[in-house]
């Protein structure tokens, strides 16, 4: 558990650095941020913005005051966007994004695990080779291409699924999942390929282990050996990569949310970029970064829970 404490300390440092980077970016903006934000407004309004951003004070002081606000959940106001504040946006967007990623991870693992286990068991079979080539191709197709293909085929050409938009789970469960299918499918494909390839090679190595031969010599059925004996030790690496892969997933989600108009963090972020809401955008970026770091910390924690070798070390 000592390692978890050191990791927690590291976590805090990384998050602080992260917020610092995303805040400092703002002060590196070319020209006067107030002028940029309030372009076209009267000088009085620009002056207001300047006071609010505390542009006359030194950067470290501004950072600390921003950080205090950020930690207490005060993300300030939008300068141009009418209706709602940044924090209200985050309150609905963050759960949406998290749900989207959760569905994606579940779907990806649900496909990748049986596929990886089966191909490892039948390594070098025709099925295995086919799955490998498919995975290689899937890794070469950017998420947005998959998204556009799905959108064109299922929504525009055949009208089976909604083209875009999002219905919260609490509002209408059926519609919620109908709207979730395409964005989740678009995000899932490359994740499946990543997990499948990893699990397959890991399982092949695990299946060579003595304890697998011993499990066979006990008279256990292949299915039990594969899923109860071989999958568990292999799933630990899978978990680590699943955590690290969240970064890629977040990047892909930003685009997919854009393509399917899912009001998640990515959507909020891009909206902020387009309407030049610099302060709000910096906060959104910090939130996404923190989310990523936290998920990885959670993975480390889960890892220690799942692996007795680490727990009892």
Partner 1 sequence: MSNATTMDGTPGGAHAAVQQAPLLEVNGLSVYFDTPRGAVRSVDDISFTLSRGRTLGVVGESGSGKSVTSKAIMGLLPRSGRRIEGSIVYDGKELTSYRDAEYRSLWGTDMAMVFQDPMTSLNPVMKIGRQITESLQLNLGMDRQTAKDSAIGLLSAVKIPAPEKRFNEYPGQLSGGMRQRVVIAVALACGPKLLFADEPTTALDVTVQAQILDLLAEQQRDRFMAMVLVTHDLGVVAGRADEIAVMYAGRIVERASTRSLFGRMKHPYTEALLKSIPKLSSASHTRLDAIGGSPPNLIDPPAGCAFAARCAYAQPRCVEERPPLVADPADPSHLYACFYPVDSAHAAGVRAEAAAHGELVNAHPGLEAFPQTPPPFDPSTMHGGTN
Partner 2 sequence: MPEPASSAARRKLGIGGWICAAWIGFLVLVSLVAPMLTAEPVTENGRVVEGCGTGEGLPLYDPLKCSDLDATREQRRTGQAVGEFKHLTGVDKSGGDVFSATVIGTRTTLIIAFSSIALAALLGGAMGLVSGYLGGKIDMIFSGLFDVMIAFPPLILALLIVNTYAAIPEDPKLAEEAINRRVPGIILALVVVATPILGRITRASTLTWAGREFVMAAKALGARPLRIMLREVLPNVVPALMSIALLAVGVVVVTESSLSLIGLGVPDGDTSWGTVIASGAADLRRYPHQVFVPSIAVILTICALNFLGDALRRKFDVRESAL
Cβ closest to partner 1, residue 121 vs residue 284: 121
Tokens of 67: 């950080």
Neighbour tally for 250: CB within 10 Å: 18
Residues 289-308 that bind partner 2 (CB under 8 A): 289, 292-293
In whole angstroms, how far apart are CA 237 and each of 45, 113, 200, 240, 242? Answer: 54, 13, 11, 5, 8
Report the distance separating Cα 136 and Cα 190, nearest Å. 9
Give which of partner 1, partner 2, none residue 52 binds (C-beta under 5 to 8 Å, depending on kind).
Answer: none
Q: Among the residues of the chain, which ranges form H helices?
A: 2-27, 33-37, 43-53, 59-71, 86-121, 126-140, 143-150, 173-207, 210-217, 222-224, 231-244, 246-259, 265-274, 278-306, 308-311
Minimum distance of partner 2 from residue 212's CB (angstroms) = 13
83: helix, coil or strand? coil
Residues 106-165 that bind partner 2 (CB under 8 A): 123-124, 136-137, 139-142, 144-145, 148-149, 151-152, 156
Minimum distance of partner 2 from residue 173's CB (angstroms) = 28
Residues 253-282 that bind partner 2 (CB under 8 A): 254-255, 258-259, 269-270, 273-274, 276, 281-282
Of 205, 202, 227, 235, the residue nearest 114 (C-alpha): 227
Chain centroid to CA 183: how far?
13
Cβ closest to partner 2, residue 68 vs residue 140: 140
Stretch that binds partner 2, among 61-69, 103-111, 199-207, 301-309 (CB under 8 A): 199-207
Cβ closest to partner 2, residue 94 vs residue 270: 270
Does 35 participate in binding partner 2 (rule CB under 8 A)? yes
- Residue for token pair 């519609």: 175
Minimum distance of partner 1 from residue 198's CB (angstroms) = 18
Chain centroid to CA 137: how far?
22
Minimum distance of partner 2 from residue 97's CB (angstroms) = 12
Report the distance separating Cα 16 and Cα 144, nearest Å. 32
Does 170 participate in binding partner 2 (rule CB under 8 A)? no
Cβ closest to partner 1, residue 71 vs residue 313: 313
Q: What is the dihedral of CA 137, 143, 144, 146, to 10 degrees?
A: 50
Does 236 participate in binding partner 2 (rule CB under 8 A)? no
Chain residues that interact with partner 1, rule: CB under 8 A: 209-211, 213-222, 224, 228-229, 232-233, 236, 306-309, 312-313
Minimum distance of partner 2 from residue 9's CB (angstroms) = 13
Report the distance separating Cα 262 and Cα 182, nearest Å. 11
Q: List residues binding partner 2 (CB under 8 A).
A: 14, 17-18, 21-22, 25-26, 28-31, 35-36, 39-40, 123-124, 136-137, 139-142, 144-145, 148-149, 151-152, 156, 201, 204-205, 208, 246-252, 254-255, 258-259, 269-270, 273-274, 276, 281-282, 285, 288-289, 292-293
């Amino acid at each position: 558990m000592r390692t978890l404490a050191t990791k927690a300390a590291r976590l805090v440092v990384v998050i602080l650095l992260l917020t610092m980077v995303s805040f400092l970016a703002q002060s590196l903006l070319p020209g006067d941020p107030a002028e940029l934000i309030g372009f076209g407004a009267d000088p009085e309004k620009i002056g207001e913005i300047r006071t609010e951003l505390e542009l006359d004070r030194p950067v470290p002081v501004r950072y600390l005051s921003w950080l205090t606000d950020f930690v207490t959940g005060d993300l300030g106001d939008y300068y141009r966007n009418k209706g709602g504040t940044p924090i209200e946006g985050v309150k609905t967007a963050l759960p949406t994004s998290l749900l989207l990623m959760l569905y994606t991870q579940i779907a990806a693992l649900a496909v990748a695990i049986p596929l990886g286990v089966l191909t490892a068991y039948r390594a070098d079979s025709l099925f295995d080779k086919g799955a490998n080539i498919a995975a290689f191709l899937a890794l070469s197709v950017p998420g947005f291409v998959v998204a556009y293909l799905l959108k064109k085929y299922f929504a525009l050409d055949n009208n089976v699924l909604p083209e875009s938009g999002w219905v919260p789970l609490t509002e209408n469960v059926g519609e919620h999942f109908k709207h979730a299918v395409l964005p989740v499918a678009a995000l899932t494909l490359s994740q499946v390929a990543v997990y499948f390839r990893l699990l397959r090679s890991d399982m092949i190595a695990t299946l060579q282990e003595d304890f697998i031969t011993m499990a066979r010599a006990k008279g256990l059925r292949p299915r039990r050996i594969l899923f109860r004996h071989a999958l568990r030790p292999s799933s630990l690496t899978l978990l680590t990569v699943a955590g690290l892969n969240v970064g890629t997933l977040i990047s892909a989600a930003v685009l997919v949310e854009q393509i399917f108009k899912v009001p998640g963090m990515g959507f909020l972020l891009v909206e902020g970029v387009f309407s030049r809401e610099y302060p709000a955008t910096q906060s959104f970026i910090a939130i996404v970064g923190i989310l990523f770091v936290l998920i990885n910390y959670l993975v480390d924690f889960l890892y220690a829970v799942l692996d007795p070798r680490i727990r009892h070390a």
